[in-house]
Structure 1
Amino acid sequence: MLLGTNGSGKSTLLRLLTGLLESQSGEINIKGRVGFVFQNPDHQLVMPTVGADVAFGLVEDRLPLVEVRRRVEDALAAVKLLELQRRPIYALSGGQKQRIAIAGAIARHCEVLLFDEPTALLDPDSQRDLVIQVRHLVKNRGITALWVTHRLDELDYSDGAFLLENGRVVAQGNPEPLKRRLMQNHQT
């Protein structure tokens, strides 16, 4: 998890890691393919149906159609939405849209997933379900996830955390001490 107040640099860091922004100095090296899940999934879902949207990210790989179908089905099964493959995007809930965005990254065989506050627009049950789903994917598929959040309860699902202030990491490690530190800061 990546934590920090508004303006601390969390979203900027994610955009630098994905190449959406160019760094002013230094180097960024990431091994493996990177997938990015926006706060609002409507900003990244572009095709009319679920299956077509998941397949869209595979176009540049020029895979045989049978492989595209296999990857789409595998990715949708991984996020528990295989039965919605032909459903129109507009007919999905916010949580389903977030899972479709994740499925797109899984289909591309991304090894690193970056999440920019993916639960911000979801109801509490959908928030918890999405966090649990991502944790399951991380554990079962060997994916690395970096998750930006303001929700301290989401730290309960994290293996580690970083706290940013003014674009710099000021604390890192076990999520529990960071959670306590942030809770104390909110109380003062």
Structure 2
Amino acid sequence: MRSLSFGWSPDSFILQDCDLQIPRGEFWMLLGDNGSGKSTLLRLIAGLLPLQSGTIACDRPLGFVFQNPDHQLVMPTVGADVAFGLVEEGLSVTQAQERVAEALAAVRLAHYERRPIYALSGGQKQRVAIAGAIARHCELLLFDEPTALLDSDSQRDLVQQVQQLVRDRGLTALWVTHRLEELEAADGACLLQQGRVVATGSVETVKACLNQL
């Protein structure tokens, strides 16, 4: 991502000249105050907002996990929801079933295929959303404050789950957060302030910048 700028009007920018490069196979976190442009940046990378200025190059297909999983889980059962994203690939029934089983095993929900979505906890719903991306063989995962609505145990579990998936499967992940304790799981981080990238690199580099603000 180079020289990325975005605004709703010519004289009101949310993001200004942002540069960010995330190494493949690493788990990075994106921090910043409310209104700093974190969610906007994530949506631009995902293609959910139109690119106005700058360039974005990333692996596709990619997976996007929202803050509230109820906004993206659309089918009545776990297995059906994970399979939903495979419709356009023209897979056979057997191939789709294999993809779903593999993805659910990867997020530790191997025996939940027939479980109703409404019966899941918030953390389990987030893992179903991740499984949907894994089933589509996404190599890039984007997370928009996925622990914001979870209790503390579920927060820690989800961070550790994604960290392990990145290591085991060679995925790349960008995770938006307000929680500084989650930084400990990251390979690198980026700090946004008033729509600009003010620090990027190691966790220690970003923490040092935070301490100076």
Q: TM-score, normalised by structure 1?
A: 0.95
Secondary structure, counterpart of 1:169 in structure 2: strand
Out of 7, 26, 35, the residue aligned to residue 54 of structure 2 is 26
Whether 2:113 is the aligned partner of 1:85: answer yes
Contact 1:155–1:176 (Cα < 8 Å) also in 2: no
The one-letter code matched in structure 2 to 1:21 is: L
From 47, 62, 66, give the equivalent of 1:38.
Answer: 66
Three-state SS of the structure 1 residue aligned to 2:124 is: helix
1:60 aligned onto 2:85? no
TM-score w.r.t. length of structure 2: 0.84
Give CA deviations for 1:100-122 in whole Å, capped at 9, x if unaligned: 00000000000000000000000
Q: Answer yes or no: is 1:109 the counterpart of 2:146.
A: no
Structure 2, unaligned runs of 5 or more = 1-28
Q: Residues of 2 paired with 1:183 and 1:89: CA distance?
A: 42
Answer 1 or 2: which has greater strand percent.
2
Partners of 1:75 and 1:86 in 2: how far apart? 14
Mapped to 1, the partners of 2:106 and 2:211 lie a distance apart of 34
> Which whole-Å CA distance do the structure 1 matches of 2:88 and 2:51 have between them?
25
Q: Which runs of 5+ in 1 are unaligned?
A: none
- Secondary structure class of the residue paired with 1:26: strand
Q: 1:74 to 1:154 in 2, by over 3 A?
A: same
The counterpart of 1:120, out of the listed 148, 153, 157, is: 148
Q: Distance between the aligned counterparts of 2:155 and 2:50, measured in 1?
A: 31
In the alignment, the residues of structure 1 paired with residue 31 and residue 163 of structure 2 have an alpha-carbon distance, to the nearest angstrom, of 17
Of residues 101, 105, 124 in structure 2, which corresponds to 1:73?
Answer: 101
- For each residue in 1:67-90, what CA deviation from the matched residue of structure 2 results, as whole angstroms up to 9, or x when unmatched? 100010000000000111100000
Other structure's SS at 2:175 match: strand
Q: Which residue of 1 aligns with 2:125?
A: 97
Q: C-alpha separation between the residues in 1 aligned to 2:148 and 2:188?
A: 20
Identity value in percent: 71
Aligned-partner residue type, residue 141 of structure 1: R
Higher normalized helix content (fraction of residues): 1
- Distance, in Å, in 1 between the alignment partners of 2:183 and 2:209 is 13
Which AA in structure 1 matches 2:199? Answer: A
Counterparts of 2:99 and 2:207, CA distance in 1: 37
Residues matched between the structures, number: 185
Q: CA deviation at 1:19?
A: 0.7
Which of 195, 198, 201 lines up with 1:167 in the alignment?
195
1:29 positional shift: 1.7
Q: Say yes or no: does 1:129 pair with 2:157.
A: yes
Instruction: State yes or no: 1:182 paired with 2:192.
Output: no
**CA-atom RMSD, angstroms?**
1.1
Distance 2:98 2:189 in 1: 34
Cα distance in 2, alignment partners of residues 69 and 134 from structure 1: 23
Q: What does residue 16 of structure 1 align with? A: 44
The 8 Å contact of residues 37 and 113 in structure 1, kept in 2 or not, is answered as yes
In structure 1, what is the Cα distance between the partners aligned to 2:114 and 2:209? 46
